[in-house]
Structure 1
Amino acid sequence: MVVNSTQQGTSDQAVTGDNWTGGIYIEGKGTVQTKMFEEKANVCKYFDAQSGLWVLLPLQWEMDIDFVTERVKQVMCALPGFVDQKEITAALRQCDYNPDKVISVYLSIFGDVLFQLSESEQNYRELNLFRSHSEKDSLIEDLNRNLQMKDQEAENQSQRNSHLAQEALYLSDVVQHLKQRVAELETEQQENLEKITALLNHRRGYHVKANKGIFRPASALNPKPFVDLEKVRQMSDLTRELSRSNRQLRSIVCQTLSDMQNQAEKAGGVLEELRCLYRKEVLWRKALNNEPLDLQVNIQVFCRCRRNSGGNSCLYPASDQELLVHNKGTTKKFLFDKVFPSSTTQEEVFDGALPIITSCVFGYRVCILAYGQTGSGKTFTVSGTKDQPGLSIRSVLELLRICKGKENIAYTLKISMLEIYNDTLNDLLSVNSTGPLEIRTQGKLISVPGLTHVQVDTEDDVWNFMDTVDKNRKPGSTKMTAESCALVSLLLFTCDLPLSSSRSHLMFTATVEGTDRVSGVTSCGTLTVCDLAGPKHTSKTEAKGQSLMEAAAINKSLTSLRQVFSALKSNALHVPFRNCKLTHLLQPCLSGEAQCCVFVNVNPDVNNMADTLHTLQFGSTLRQIVLGKTTQHMKNAKAEK
């Protein structure tokens, strides 16, 4: 979605000079002017008189505009089964507010079920089963059972074909034996016929001589051979019976061979049907796992509050998405995609990010950033402890579990750990340190030559690699961190953690490659988890010498990161990714082809009010950044071979 950044901050004359203008009432601001900007895509904005800028209109407010409401009604009239107005509005924004395009897209996805009318809430639920993941899982289980039944039928057909083949071989031997017997009987019959013919000729000659007057006594004649006519008749009947049996056997064998051929053709059809069912199931599973990514195109921002050490708290979660800040008698409200209160466990935080993390198994890029002041719980959220692991450890263990559960897909999981210290790259998994690493850029591909990538096969491998990372990473204590950790040493966020502050950014990357043994398609997804160092206040930390240089490097990199986000928010033509090593490495994750999630960690203590407000305002700004639709990275391994 492209926004004309050059038109922001225009005067009242520019408000009425373009494609479409109007007005809308916004709570807290009153009636404001709205305008539809069009360059490569239509984007609805409203004119903020206080700042003098055109600001992107949130989706909930955009639904109240007559221009959008008319198009929502057009889509709902055309598709009675599609009643989620917010989703229709989001789809219209993606399709340049073209109702026909939205209708065609949803019909191609869900089919004729959207034409059915929903008479009640129960009917609506029944007609929209495709929106329930649990019911989709049930449908997938049914497909799996059907697949198992088809496998059993194929196995039974194979056994039946084997049995028929053995029976045909046996019948062939019987036919061969009968043919030999028939040949012997035919030979014997021929001999008997010759004997009968000879006897009849001999008898005819005797009568001829008697008619000529020649008489011989009976004793002078040759003895008459004995012929058993009954035996000849039985042999003749037996010959006819054998011929009839021979014809019947030939008919049976031909019919059996025909049945075997038909069974083989049916078995081939069953196997092809099983392959189709398998492909459909794979596509269905991918659709279920990728559905959140296809709809969520903005940066997702989660807010996590650290446990307070007993002082006055200034943060009060109002709901799952709202956080209230009390400051000097005033209350400010901040909205996030998810708010985790101070009582949230590590498991609950991981469950909130799980749908984003698991999508890398299907070839997507995923990036998770942890941002906040020093001592706000970033390292605990990302790394955690052995008793309470953080996002990075739990992500690898979950990816291992998913990869082992895929029988028809061969997965390879590799991880790498990188430290950005004083704007230099250090390999944390290298046994023998080879010095700082450099970044190489080839088109859109960014790589770090010499970086160690280790393959992970078991849970023990994960913990062994993490021990190596702890030994190689550079920590450094500050006055501010020591005071913070002393207050919360008995609390959750500081258990088993050293009283030190990270002087570097930690970047964890997991690469998942999976090859489908049936289709030969290979997917390549990556998960990047970055533990950002907190902004350094040299006046509070009393940093000097080397510590002062480290603090300056950290502040410079965080400033570069904020400049990148600012350029992305305003859709600037140039985004300064190469201002520092941190933003250069994060370029593939923030260039519009990956899903990005930012955890903003805050300290509820009133003594940290300024840093807390700065962090919350920064996180609230990130929610307005649109990165674009994610891209799945797939390739056909068989074609390449």
Structure 2
Amino acid sequence: MYLSNPFQTLQRFPQAWYSQGHFISSTPKAAGPTEGSGGGVPVPSDPARPPDDRTGTVHIQGRGTVATYMFEERANVCRYFEPQSGLWLLLPLQWEMNMDFTKERLQRVMAALPGLLDQTEILAALRQCSYDPEEVISVYLSVFGEQLLQRPAAAAAAAAGGEQRRAELHSLRALQDTEREVQDLRQRLHLQQQEARSVSQKKDSLTREVRYLSDVVQVLNRQLAQLEAEHHDARRKIRSLLAPRPTPPPPPPPPAAAAAAAAAAPPLDPAQLLRLHGQTRELRVGSRTLASAVRHLLGEAGEVLGEVGAAVGRLGRRAEAAAADLEEARALYRKEAVERRSLYNRLQEAQGNVRVMCRCRGGGASGCRGGGASGCLELPSDQEVLLLLRGTRRRFHFDKVFPPGASQEAVFAGTLPLITSCVDGYNVCILAYGQTGSGKSYTMTGTRDQPGVNVRSIQELLHMCTEQQSISYSLKVSMLEIYNDSLNDLLAKKNRTAPPLEIRAQGRGVSVPGLTQVPVQTQDDIIIAMETGEKNRKIASTKMNIESSRSHLVLTLTVEGVDRVSGVTSLGTLTLCDLAGSERISKTEAKGERLVEAAAINKSLTALGQVFSALRCNALHVPFRNSKLTHLLQPCLSGDAKCCVLVTLSPDPGDLAETLSTLQYGASIQQVALGKAARNPAPAKRNP
């Protein structure tokens, strides 16, 4: 705590601060009570009095020497008392930077991270981490990696690096804020779902109760109808008994026997008539009582039905409101997810990382055309792959994961943002890597009915170029294969006496003199060129794949655009590489010529892995010339191009070792940073 005047009255700390931490000072406290205990007491005006062991001084530029009193070990609580406003105000960074407490922690962080030069940024991070330098160091290392451990070569480079790191940190903070908002939206969505389930359960309970009461009313109605029928019969019988009988005509004088029988018949008993009358009255009373009870029950049932109807209406309205809130939360979540993905892509593009996408082949024998994730793989989300390995699960993260049911259109849509930048003058490279039979050729080339990335990308670029009115484009396609570390032109007319193709250095890139380039203007031109190249490609049957590609296919599309207004020329290239399948010779049982081919394939893939490893470690020398494949791909991996690797997987348990190796290969490639890609403008062409 700072005091503007060392002899002014000390202000008591707010009572809430005592339960939030403890007070520390740079000097040990004296053994015994001091007058400063209790949160602040007046400092005597006698300057000769010994100072309190919790006070000190610090020199602040522009203010001179001021007194300090206590420091609380808690984030954002280093404050000073302002007498004019009577408030404890947050201490400015420039003041706090001159305190011995913060100086020592700033020096520790800067000594551990020489590449971090902004003291203001470090002090802000210390505030967020409760002034724990170890936590600040670990946070910076986890975010920016080991690049902060290297000291910049020059002050200008250090300033530029600091600006870039601040921009990246700002993007990271925005991403973290977005993640927190997404978590809040998820929590709100969860609460809304729970409330909707509760409302639905109450609605079901009330519906069951209404159904039960309806059944009770129906039973009572049947009983009432039965009682009314019995009452009607009883009244009819009573009326028939009480009705006066007509006086019969005097009978003819009976014979002697009839007269004796009539004399013997008993007369009508009045007591029996009274008993029947009493029973009838009891039935009438019971009927009226039952009718009253039924009317009462029907009234109560009507009231209950009305209340249930009102409750159902309220529940329906609440369910509609909950559904609207749920849909709004889902829309916000989708919006935040899109923004988060956009920020992540912008950060990746700024860092120039290689994007890695993963595609899992279906369980059937027809490549990627069907089947679900089975065997040793699980796909919990569109960015994660779980590998079941000896009872454990290993998790791998990628930029995009396509399930076995993903269509060719979905895979192409994932690579479309990279492909379309070729029209703007960028170099783009897409590689397919995986073991033999995992679906690389199907993903890149496809079939006539289901074309792959190669055909779809050229069609899309051709469509984009035809839509441009002020820029004229020309597209040329070339195809070559690298077979046994030699280059073969797949679009050239076969000439046995022609010398093999060689790679020549051309400025910052490479060229292949004599390589055939075919202009394409329509979709038919694309199909004819692709079919011609596929017919000339080397394929053979192995134990793991009936039609195994025995060479690396490299398809290059050159897009040259000329602006008719300014005359500026842009040149972009799209390199599509279908690598030959990595395979184990012991598993494929290759012999003779197949053995030589497998050895050449594995050698070139090993050289490609060494290049990615050197790029990941920022090595001074990158071994591009260890193979023809890496030498040809040097412009795509040297930092001027946008690169994407499609990793294909097999879910079969028998391919577990190859699947693990492929996943580890893709995860290591994802850490490679090539730097931000640059456009390739050419000088303007002057019209004669």
The CA deviation at 1:475 is: 0.8
Equivalent pairs counted in the alignment come to: 388
The answer on whether the counterparts of 1:313 and 1:606 sit within 8 Å (CA) in structure 2 is: yes
Q: CA 1:69–1:545 in 2, change beyond 3 Å: closer, same or farther?
A: farther
**For 1:5-24, what aligned pairs fall within 5 Å after superposition?**
none
- Does structure 1 residue 526 correspond to structure 2 residue 566? no
Aligned position for 1:387:
449
The answer on whether the counterparts of 2:479 and 2:490 sit within 8 Å (CA) in structure 1 is: yes
- Distance between the aligned counterparts of 2:548 and 2:667, measured in 1? 26
Q: CA 1:560–1:105 in 2, change beyond 3 Å: closer, same or farther?
A: closer
AA at the equivalent of 1:632: R
- Does structure 1 residue 602 correspond to structure 2 residue 649? yes
Aligned position for 2:415:
353
TM-score, normalization: structure 2? 0.51
The answer on whether the counterparts of 2:376 and 2:389 sit within 8 Å (CA) in structure 1 is: yes
Name the SS for the 2:422 alignment partner. Answer: helix
Aligned position for 2:537:
473
- Distance between the aligned counterparts of 1:36 and 1:529, measured in 2? 44
Aligned position for 2:595:
548
Of 358, 362, 383, the residue aligned with 1:303 is 358
The answer on whether the counterparts of 1:426 and 1:435 sit within 8 Å (CA) in structure 2 is: no
The answer on whether the counterparts of 1:363 and 1:632 sit within 8 Å (CA) in structure 2 is: yes
- Distance between the aligned counterparts of 2:166 and 2:664, measured in 1? 40
- Distance between the aligned counterparts of 2:509 and 2:401, measured in 1? 35
Aligned position for 2:517:
453
Per-residue deviation, residues 337-387 of structure 1 (Å, max 9, x unmatched): 111111110000010110011101101111111000000000001000111
Aligned position for 2:428:
366
Per-residue deviation, residues 203-258 of structure 1 (Å, max 9, x unmatched): xxxxxxxxxxxxxxxxxxxxxxxxxxxxxxxxxxxxxxxxxxxxxxxxxxxxxxxx
Aligned position for 1:323:
385
Moved more, 431-440 or 367-376: 431-440
**For 1:219-230, what aligned pairs fall within 5 Å after superposition?**
none
The answer on whether the counterparts of 2:567 and 2:684 sit within 8 Å (CA) in structure 1 is: yes
Aligned position for 1:584:
631
Per-residue deviation, residues 535-558 of structure 1 (Å, max 9, x unmatched): 232222221111111111011101
Per-residue deviation, residues 60-80 of structure 1 (Å, max 9, x unmatched): xxxxxx94963999xxxxxxx
The answer on whether the counterparts of 1:314 and 1:325 sit within 8 Å (CA) in structure 2 is: yes
The answer on whether the counterparts of 1:71 and 1:99 sit within 8 Å (CA) in structure 2 is: no
- Does structure 1 residue 621 correspond to structure 2 residue 668? yes
The answer on whether the counterparts of 2:351 and 2:673 sit within 8 Å (CA) in structure 1 is: no
Moved more, 355-364 or 439-448: 439-448
- Distance between the aligned counterparts of 2:649 and 2:399, measured in 1? 16
Of 487, 506, 515, the residue aligned with 1:425 is 487
The answer on whether the counterparts of 1:308 and 1:605 sit within 8 Å (CA) in structure 2 is: yes
Name the SS for the 2:658 alignment partner. Answer: helix
- Distance between the aligned counterparts of 2:108 and 2:686, measured in 1? 52
Q: CA 1:20–1:378 in 2, change beyond 3 Å: closer, same or farther?
A: farther
Q: CA 1:380–1:330 in 2, change beyond 3 Å: closer, same or farther?
A: same
The answer on whether the counterparts of 1:36 and 1:42 sit within 8 Å (CA) in structure 2 is: no
The CA deviation at 1:515 is: 1.0
Aligned position for 1:224:
none
Name the SS for the 2:423 alignment partner. Answer: helix
The answer on whether the counterparts of 2:538 and 2:550 sit within 8 Å (CA) in structure 1 is: yes
**For 1:392-407, what aligned pairs fall within 5 Å after superposition?**
392-407=454-469
AA at the equivalent of 1:460: D
The answer on whether the counterparts of 2:376 and 2:388 sit within 8 Å (CA) in structure 1 is: yes
Aligned position for 1:70:
125
Q: Which has the higher contact order (CA 8 A, sep 6+)?
A: 1
Structure 1: runs of 5+ lacking an equivalent: 1-18, 23-33, 44-65, 74-84, 107-113, 122-287, 483-499
- Distance between the aligned counterparts of 2:464 and 2:540, measured in 1? 37
Structure 2: runs of 5+ lacking an equivalent: 1-105, 129-138, 149-156, 169-173, 182-342, 365-370
Across the aligned residues of Structure 1 and Structure 2, the Cα RMSD in angstroms comes to 4.0
Task: Indicate the percent of aligned positions where both proteins have the same amino acid.
Answer: 55
The CA deviation at 1:474 is: 1.1
Per-residue deviation, residues 464-511 of structure 1 (Å, max 9, x unmatched): 1112112211111112213xxxxxxxxxxxxxxxxx100000001111
**For 1:566-577, what aligned pairs fall within 5 Å after superposition?**
566-577=613-624
Name the SS for the 2:544 alignment partner. Answer: helix
The answer on whether the counterparts of 2:350 and 2:675 sit within 8 Å (CA) in structure 1 is: no
AA at the equivalent of 1:307: G
- Distance between the aligned counterparts of 1:365 and 1:457, measured in 2? 21
The answer on whether the counterparts of 1:315 and 1:604 sit within 8 Å (CA) in structure 2 is: yes
**Bigger Cα Rg:** 2
Per-residue deviation, residues 64-118 of structure 1 (Å, max 9, x unmatched): xx94963999xxxxxxxxxxx99xx88xx99969798369989xxxxxxx9xxx9
